[in-house]
C-alpha cells in the first residue's frame, strides 16, 4: 500500500487514502505539478462538502441523537474495512449496507443537503446526505473550487518564475499548464451511474484548524459545531486550542436510479486529556 498524500491545509495536514503513486521523493516538474493538483483537488472537496450553510443557507442541526450517530459511525467503519487498500470501490458483499446508509434520511425522516451534528466534549460527528440535483450542484461546486485554485496558482507561478527563463522553471510552468482534471471523472461518477458501483473515499488530517473549518468554510460559529465545552477561547486561542483530528468519509452510489452521496466527518480534539 502506498503512503498517504500529505497536504498542509487550514493549520493542519491533509491526507488522502489510498495514495496512487509510489512514495518516492517528488523531484520532476510533472510530479511537482501533480502534487499541487492533488492539493487543490482535496481542498476543493473539503470546501464543496462543508460550504453549503455559508453559501446556500443550508440547515445545521446539532441534535443528531447519539445512538444514530454511533450507528452511522459503525456502518461507515464496516464499509471502510470492507474495501481494499488499493481501491475506493466497495465489494458486492456490502452494497446493501452502503445503500442502507444512503437511504437513511428517508427512513429516519431527515432532510438531505442539511448538516446533522452530534457532539460531546472533545468529539464531533457531522453527517450530510445529497440526492439527485443536490449531487449535481455538489459536483459543479467541486469543479469550480478546483479550477479557481489551479488558475490562481498558475497566475502566481507565471509571475514568480516566468522571468527566470531557466529550464527547471519553464518545465514546471509547462507541467502546470497541462493539468486538466475533471473532478467527476476523478471521483468515478460515470462508472457509479452506469454500473451501480458504490465508492468510498477518505481524507485525514492529523491536525486541522477547527475555527477555519467551522467559521471560514461552514460559516457557523465554532461553539455551534463542536459545543461550548470543546470550543477554543474566543480571544488568544493557541495552535493547540485549534487543533483537531479530522477524517472525512465520502460514500457515493446510485439507489433506485437516483445518484446519492453521504458524507461523514469524525473530529476529535487533539489536546491530551480529551
Q: Based on DSSP, count helices (H) and strands (E) in the chain, helices before strands.
A: 12, 8
37 is a domain residue: yes
What is residue 16's predicted lDDT score, i.e. its pLDDT? 54
Three-state secondary structure call for residue 234? coil
Residues paired with 14 in a beta bridge: 7, 205
Query: 207-216: per-residue pLDDT in tens?
Result: 999 999 999 9
- Give tens-digit pLDDT for 207-251: 999 999 999 999 999 999 999 999 999 899 999 999 999 999 999
Is 69 domain-assigned? yes
Q: How many CB atoms lie within 10 A of CB 150?
A: 21
Residue 274 lies in a domain: no
What per-residue confidence (pLDDT) applies to 73?
98
Over 50: is that where the pLDDT of 51 sits? yes
Would residue 63 count as lying in a domain? yes
Question: Given a cut of 80, is residue 274 above it in pLDDT?
Answer: no
- Tell me whether residue 2 is in a domain: no
Asked if residue 208 is part of any domain, the answer here is yes
- Torsions phi, psi of 113, nearest 5? 85, -30
Which range marks the domain in which residue 265 is found?
Answer: 7-269
Alpha helices in the chain (DSSP H): 29-50, 52-56, 66-82, 95-102, 104-108, 133-161, 167-178, 183-186, 189-195, 210-211, 222-226, 239-242
Number of domains in the chain: 1
With the C-alpha atoms ordered 21, 27, 28, 31, is the resulting torsion angle positive or negative? positive
Instruction: Report pLDDT for 163.
Output: 85
Residues 19, 3 contacting (CB under 8 angstroms): yes
**Is pLDDT at 3 greater than 50 in this prediction?**
no
Q: Does the pLDDT at position 268 exceed 80? A: yes
* Residue 1, domain member (yes or no): no
Question: What is d(CA 182, CA 232) in angstroms, rounded to the nearest whole number?
Answer: 38
Q: What is the pLDDT of residues 137-166, one digit of tens each?
A: 999 999 999 999 999 999 999 999 988 888
Q: What is the pLDDT of residues 91-124, one digit of tens each?
A: 999 999 999 999 999 999 999 999 999 999 999 9
The strands making up 258-269's β-sheet, listed across from edge to edge, are: 7-9, 12-17, 199-209, 243-255, 258-269, 123-131, 115-120, 60-61
- Residue 181 scores a pLDDT above 80: yes
Mean pLDDT of all residues belonging to the chain: 90
Q: Is residue 120 included in any domain, yes or no?
A: yes
Tell me the torsion sign for CA atoms 209, 36, 260, 87.
negative
The predicted-structure confidence for 184-215, as pLDDT tens digits, reads as follows 999 999 999 999 999 999 999 999 999 999 99
Supply the pLDDT for residue 27: 67
Amino acid at each position: 500500500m502506498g503512503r498517504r498524500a500529505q497536504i498542509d491545509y487550514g493549520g493542519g495536514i491533509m491526507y488522502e487514502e489510498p495514495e496512487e503513486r509510489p512514495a518516492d521523493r517528488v523531484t520532476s516538474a510533472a510530479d511537482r505539478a501533480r502534487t499541487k493538483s492533488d492539493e487543490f483537488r482535496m481542498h476543493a472537496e473539503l470546501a464543496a462538502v462543508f460550504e453549503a450553510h455559508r453559501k446556500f443557507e443550508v440547515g445545521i442541526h446539532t441534535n443528531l441523537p447519539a445512538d444514530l450517530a454511533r450507528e452511522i459511525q459503525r456502518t461507515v467503519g464496516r464499509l471502510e474495512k470492507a474495501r481494499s487498500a488499493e481501491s475506493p470501490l466497495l465489494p458486492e458483499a456490502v452494497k446493501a449496507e452502503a445503500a442502507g446508509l444512503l437511504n437513511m434520511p428517508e427512513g429516519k425522516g431527515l432532510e438531505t443537503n442539511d448538516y446533522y451534528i452530534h457532539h460531546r466534549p472533545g468529539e464531533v460527528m457531522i453527517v450530510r446526505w445529497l440526492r439527485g440535483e443536490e449531487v449535481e450542484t455538489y459536483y459543479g461546486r467541486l469543479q469550480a473550487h478546483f479550477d479557481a485554485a489551479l488558475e490562481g496558482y498558475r497566475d502566481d507561478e507565471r509571475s514568480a518564475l516566468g522571468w527566470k527563463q531557466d529550464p527547471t522553471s519553464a518545465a514546471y510552468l509547462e507541467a502546470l499548464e497541462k493539468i486538466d482534471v475533471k473532478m467527476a471523472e476523478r471521483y468515478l461518477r460515470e462508472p457509479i451511474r452506469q454500473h451501480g458501483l458504490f465508492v468510498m473515499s477518505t481524507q485525514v488530517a492529523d491536525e486541522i484548524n477547527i475555527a477555519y473549518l467551522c467559521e471560514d468554510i461552514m460559516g457557523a460559529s465554532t461553539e455551534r459545531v463542536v459545543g461550548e465545552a470543546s470550543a477554543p477561547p474566543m480571544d488568544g486561542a493557541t495552535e493547540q486550542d485549534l487543533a483537531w483530528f479530522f477524517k472525512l468519509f465520502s460514500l457515493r452510489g446510485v439507489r433506485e436510479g437516483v445518484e446519492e452521496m453521504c458524507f461523514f466527518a469524525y473530529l476529535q480534539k487533539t489536546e491530551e486529556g480529551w
